[in-house]
Amino acid sequence: MINCIPTAQEQLKFLKNIQLILQSGSFSSTYKFALLISLSRLAIEKGEDSGEQLVLEYSDIAEKFIELYWKQAAPYNFNDTGQRILNQNNGKQAAIVNKVIELRQIYSSLGLLRRDVTIWSKLVKDVARTVKDMPVRYLQNMNGQNFEFLYLFDQSRKQLILLPQAMYCLRQFSEIIEELCQKRWIDYIRKNSTNAPVLNQLPNLEQFMFEPNRNQLNAVANVLVELQECKCFYCNKVMKKGSYAVDHFIPWSMYPSDTGHNFVLADSSCNSKKSNLLASDEFLHKWQERNEKQDMIIVDRISVLGFLTDKERSHKVAEWAYAQRKENNYLMWNG
Give the footprint of Zn ion on this chain (CB under 5 A): 232, 234-235, 267, 270
SS3 content of the chain, % helix, strand, coil (to 5): 55, 10, 35
Nearer to Zn ion, 62 or 270 (CB): 270
Residue 252 Cβ vs Zn ion, minimum distance, rounded to whole Å? 19
Yes or no: say if 260 and 287 are a contact pair by the CB < 8 Å rule: no
Q: How far is the CB of 90 from Zn ion (least distance, A)?
A: 49
Amino acid at 195: N
* Closest approach of Zn ion to the CB of residue 231, in Å: 8
Backbone φ and ψ of 51, nearest 5°: -85, 15
Shortest CB 286 distance to Zn ion, Å: 13
**Residues 101, 115: Cα–Cα separation, whole Å:** 18
> Which C-beta is closer to Zn ion: that of 83 or that of 236?
236
Who contacts 308 (Cβ-Cβ below 8 Å, separation ≥6)? 63, 67, 257, 258, 259, 260
- Number of alpha helices (DSSP H) and beta strands (DSSP E) in the chain: 15, 10
Query: Which residues pair with residue 247 across a beta bridge?
Result: 264
Nearer to Zn ion, 95 or 232 (CB): 232
**Contact in structure between 9 and 17 (CB atoms under 8 Å):** no
Closest approach, Cβ 232 to Zn ion, in A, equals: 3
Nearest residue (CB) to Zn ion, 232 versus 302: 232
